[in-house]
Amino acid sequence: MAKHRSDDIAKIHRALHSHLPSEPALRVKALESLLVEKGMVDPRTVDAWVEIYTEKIGPKRGAQVVAKAWADPAFKTALLDDGTAAITALGYEGWATGHLEVVENTAAVHNLVVCTLCSCYPHSILGIPPAWYKLAAYRARAVREPRAVLAEFGVNLADDIEVRVWDSTSELRYMVLPQRPAGTAGWDENQLAAIVTRNAMIGTDRDLRTG
Amino acid sequence: MDGIHDLGGREGFGPIDRHGEDLAFHAPWEARVMGMVRAMSRPGDWSIDWFRHCRELIDPIDYLTRPYYDQWLQTYGAMLVNSGTVTVDELASGKSDGRDAGLARPVSPDSVGDGKAALLRFDRPYDGAPEFAVGDAVRAVRHGVPGHTRLPAYARGRRGTVHAYRGAHVFPDAKAVGEERAEPLYTVAYDAAELWAEAAGRRDRVYVDLWESYLERP
């Protein structure tokens, strides 16, 4: 049984800091050996999760969702109405997408997603978050100076474009639906998906390049 | 809790380091941590909220300086010790002292499939009616609470508007101490200028998901 006392945890953190090797790779190796010996982990299951989140589940899924929304107005309506149901229809539901909210960029609106309190992210459609998404600098600044953050990512917004920052404080997870660029009429979904960047679905990219 | 984790609006961090942004993992051990967390059997009273609180309680210097998956490692280590599942000595040596963890057998690799097994929902049945409606003016409470909470400090005492009602969701403050109850959840829109003096004159907004007991009528 967990003892839900904050002071106990702070003390254990200190003990771990003092008694465990400073090199994380050594601590991870010790933990895995221990959990396997205790019968709590099957290392082949670890391998399977690593493989799936390295090779199979990543932002290409999100890009397919965006491309379908651009190509299929009924899907776009469904996606904006109930993101989880819409991605479930594509078989993309999973880790951290039990309550998916998709927010749409327009000529007048730019959306940006952050988690100031930890690092919440819609894993099953965007994969493992980029390192910067989990850094203190992004978490601190995105809510306060989103325009300066966007400029660092090469997105310079006119003053009359409204910025909407979504702080992921609950189990809702946000994904940005970028604008479809001009010059893509007649493209099929795979062609469209190829131009959608991971950062555009977080909101740190805006005008997608078509060539 | 006024912890080091509550970073929204803190200043002085400088530019965002985008090094390695296209890599899921930056070392094999990072991938092992992620995989272990998904694969391990665990005490039945752990929750995402208890995990988040235990991460918030990492020594503040470690919290700001250790890589992300090192923080996961540190947090799960602390949770395992706290639950009596393993000892600090066992974590240091990587060798079991022979005690049985008393947990279910670990999940098999076949169960991973295409990763859908990790889907969880947090909305729950709720007998009451939500206190606020879309469009209502609300103010977040002025003071934080000890322990885990999902009301960021920057929103406290600030006036916003209910943008959406999301149904009743598991209340994190209670779940983090082992009690599950549902409470209405809203997305509240704040004018940036209500939060930050330097945003005066901008139309920008910050949307924050807040539970009903974080909110009052202004």
CATH, residue B210? 2.30.30.50
* β-bridge pairing A100-104 and A173-177: parallel
Query: In this predicted model, what pLDDT tens digit does every residue of A155-202 receive, in sequence order?
Result: 999 999 999 999 999 999 999 999 999 999 999 999 999 999 999 999
Enter the tokens of residue B194: 């209500």
CB of A144 within 8 A of CB of B9? Answer: yes
- My answer on whether B45 and B114 are in the same domain is yes
Most A CBs within 10 Å, among B191, B205, B207, to test the A interface: B207
- My answer on whether B168 and B114 are in the same domain is no
Query: In this predicted model, what pLDDT tens digit does every residue of A21-61 receive, in sequence order?
Result: 999 999 999 999 999 999 999 999 999 999 999 999 999 99
A168 is catalytic: no
Burial profile A179-203: b = 16 or more Cβ within 10 angstroms, e = fewer: bbeeeeeebebeebbebbbbbbbbb
Residue B187 domain-assigned (yes or no): yes
| CATH 3.90.330.10 for the A58-202 domain, yes or no | yes
State the count of interchain CB pairs (< 8 A) between A and B: 342
Question: Quick one: pLDDT at residue A11?
Answer: 97
Q: A128 CA to chain B: closest CA distance, Å?
A: 5
- My answer on whether B141 and B113 are in the same domain is no
Domain limits, chain A: 6-41, 58-202
ipTM value > 0.85: yes
Enter the tokens of residue B86: 């393993």
Q: Dihedral (C-alpha) A197, A202, A208, A210: value to the nearest 10 degrees?
A: 20
Residue B181 domain-assigned (yes or no): yes
Residue B177 domain-assigned (yes or no): yes
Most A CBs within 10 Å, among B25, B32, B56, to test the A interface: B32
A115 is catalytic: yes
Residues in chain A within 8 Å Cβ distance of B150: 117, 169-170
- My answer on whether B104 and B145 are in the same domain is no
Residue B156 domain-assigned (yes or no): yes
- My answer on whether B82 and B146 are in the same domain is no
Residues in chain A within 8 Å Cβ distance of B103: 39-40
Residue B1 domain-assigned (yes or no): no
Alpha carbons B61 and B12: distance in angstroms, whole number: 16
Kindly report the CATH number assigned to the domain that includes residue B76. Answer: 1.10.472.20
For residue A153, name the pLDDT band (cuts at 50, 70, 90): very high
A33 is catalytic: no
* β-bridge pairing A173-177 and B182-191: unpaired
Instruction: Please say which residue of B62, B89, B118 terminates a domain.
Output: B118
**Domain of residue B152, residue span:** 137-216
A22 is catalytic: no
CB atoms A33 and B94 under 8 Å: yes
Question: Quick one: pLDDT at residue B156?
Answer: 98
Alpha carbons B185 and B211: distance in angstroms, whole number: 4
Residues paired with residue B169 on neighbouring β-strands, in sequence order: B123, B183
Q: B34 CA to chain A: closest CA distance, Å?
A: 7
Query: In this predicted model, what pLDDT tens digit does every residue of B159-192 receive, in sequence order?
Result: 999 999 999 999 999 999 999 999 999 999 999 9
Domain count, chain B: 2
Residues in chain A within 8 Å Cβ distance of B205: 162-165
Residue B87 domain-assigned (yes or no): yes
